[in-house]
Amino acid sequence: MDKKQAIHVLELIALYLEIKGENPFKIAAYRKAAQALEREVRALWEIEDVSTLNGIGKATAEVLTELQETGTSSLLTSLAETLPESLLTLLRLPGLGGKKIGKLYRELGVIDEKTLLSACEQGKVRLLAGFGAKSEEKIITVLKEQQKGPDRFPIEVALSVAATIEVQLERMPGVARFSRAGSLRRMQEMVKDIDFVIATDDPHTVRTHLLQLSNLVDVIAQGETKVSVSLQLERGVISVDFRLVTVAEFATALHHFTGSKTHNIYMRQLAKKQGEKISEYGVTNVATNETMTFQDEQAFFSHFNLPYMPPEAREDESAFSRYAECQTDVWASDAKADLHMHTVWSDGANTIEEMVEAARSKGYTHIAITDHSRSLKVAHGLSTKQLQEQHEKVRRLDEQYTDIHILTGVEMDILPNGTLDYPDEVLKEIDFVIASIHSGFSQSRSDIMYRMRQAMENPYVHLIAHPMGRLIGRRPGYDIDVGTLIDWAEETGKVLELNANPRRLDLEVKWLKQAALQGVPIAINSDAHRVSGLDVVDYGYAYARKAMLTPDNVLNTWSFEKFRQEILLRGK
């Protein structure tokens, strides 16, 4: 169990105690312990005696010691067993915390959204202390809005659902091959549903098992070649379509059901010129009526004298002219670096050493440790003294390795007034400086652009992280002129980030294309807060293929020496 997970356990214990109406001082003790652990720069396993930490009492020390030794908490388990699990879903509703949820549960028997709505409609909630008529009306409005469910889902949600399905398909009898298809395979930011193509010689067995998928709430269709189901999500229901084909048909079916519609139309036009027809079943010679199938999509494209087009790029006809030039796609396997990651020193879950070892296992030749700066209190940003102490440690660690360069770094806030979170005398000593916005999102475009300009004119800043500030499907980001930002990056020699976290994928495709045209380097970074987070770069590189970037456009694929000469030493 890592530190962030331990903090979550302490906070969850406090929440359960609050719902049960326990002593407020007891509740506060667990929250105080969570805060104490957040301030600690060591990993959980590095702390020999947790009771010595300021803010940790006897009871909370026992919980942390048990977490260190077993990775579980018997107290949390026993508390969870005494309360309905569905109660925690109410936390998603605005204005409802543990105290109010506990009151609803103990006094009205509310256990989930359905029983809460019923209590509201009967006028019972307004009678409870701390609520009132307006609160009740607001809860009704929110619950009824949620019942409708969204029409489209952020890619992050769809990717998670797809991954859960794939675990089940891997062990499903009768499945020979399978792949995602449709808009998710093309890395669309918002998806309506999820598509899979399954190759099988036993469709009956596969169909039977598909109807037993976890979280299944409805069977929309079940035919010889297609099964459609609905799966329950935390919010809403998502449809999943499974196309069942033979092993021989798999490649052409996968191409067909991946799309896009524009791409498929263009391919059919090419086939027509060759006297052929394309369908999900294969490529048919019009004269002889013979149908060819292919081992994979590479062979399919080769049949039309085309290079392989990655699914992410199959949106419109522009890909055909681009790939006619035989430009090289960029893949995660090309990466030599990740230049944005966090550790236990700020709000990360793992130590510097653990992040380094994980990076080495991925074959990286260089990384930057970039914890948050001092003004981001919520992420326990580093004071100037802490930053200098961390960088001394990073430099000592760097000397121990011959196969990887470990750079000192920081993700520094661009403050609402346009100043940077550290003075130049601190920044000039840092190997790699990231500047980003984490506050003042509602400022005017002129104010946001002023802040960005201040960062880009600073000689010690190397990269602007998640430049748009968006969270896909959740937050549009701040009001920013990205075109001008790209112009400034070209002018000042700064790097722009493609943040690979599927919640962000920031910059978006059209701006990635523009940056590449203007020769502005793009950094595809994980922004990882734990070791497993380093893997999200796979999504970033897939998104980069959607923008048809090449390795030359992405500085993470450069050798360390090229990166050092063109980025780190520029202006020095």
CA distances from 370 to 409, 412, 462 (A): 5, 9, 12
Beta-carbon count within 10 A of 263 CB: 21
Residue 291, both tokens: 């149908």
Angle at 564 between CA 559 and CA 569, to 5 degrees: 160
Q: List CB contacts of 78: < 8 A, sequence separation 6 or more.
A: none
User: Partners of 269 in the beta sheet?
Assistant: none
The pLDDT value recorded for residue 417 is 96
Angle at 127 between CA 122 and CA 129, to 5 degrees: 145
Using CA atoms of 381, 385, 388, 393 in order, give the dihedral in degrees to the nearest 10. Answer: -90
Average per-residue pLDDT in the chain? 95
Q: What architecture is domain 3-147?
A: Orthogonal Bundle (1.10)
Q: List CB contacts of 317: < 8 A, sequence separation 6 or more.
A: 262, 263, 266
Question: Domain 250-326 classified CATH 3.30.210.10?
Answer: yes
- The 3-class secondary structure across 47-58, one letter per residue, is CCCHHHCCCCCH
CATH superfamily of 149-247: Beta Polymerase, domain 2 (3.30.460.10)
Q: What are phi and psi of 375, to 5 degrees?
A: -75, -15
The pLDDT value recorded for residue 324 is 77
The pLDDT value recorded for residue 572 is 58
The string of pLDDT tens digits covering residues 374-405 is 999 888 899 999 999 999 999 999 999 999 99
pLDDT band at 326 (very low <50, low <70, confident <90, very high): low
pTM: 0.90
pLDDT band at 140 (very low <50, low <70, confident <90, very high): very high
The string of pLDDT tens digits covering residues 516-536 is 999 999 999 999 999 999 999
Q: How far apart are CA 44 and CA 28, in angstroms?
A: 21
Q: How buried is 35 (Cβ within 10 angstroms: 0-12 exposed, 13-18 middle, 19+ buried)?
A: middle
pLDDT band at 440 (very low <50, low <70, confident <90, very high): very high
The string of pLDDT tens digits covering residues 58-108 is 999 999 999 999 999 999 999 999 999 899 989 988 889 999 999 999 999
Three-state DSSP class for 552?
A: helix
Q: In what order do the strands lie in the sheet with 291-292?
A: 276-279, 282-285, 291-292
State the span(s) of the chain assigned CATH 3.20.20.140: 332-568
Q: What fold characterizes domain 332-568? A: TIM Barrel (3.20.20)
Predicted confidence (pLDDT) at residue 291 exceeds the cutoff of 80 = yes
DSSP string over 242-256: EEEE-TTTHHHHHHH
State the span(s) of the chain assigned CATH 3.30.210.10: 250-326
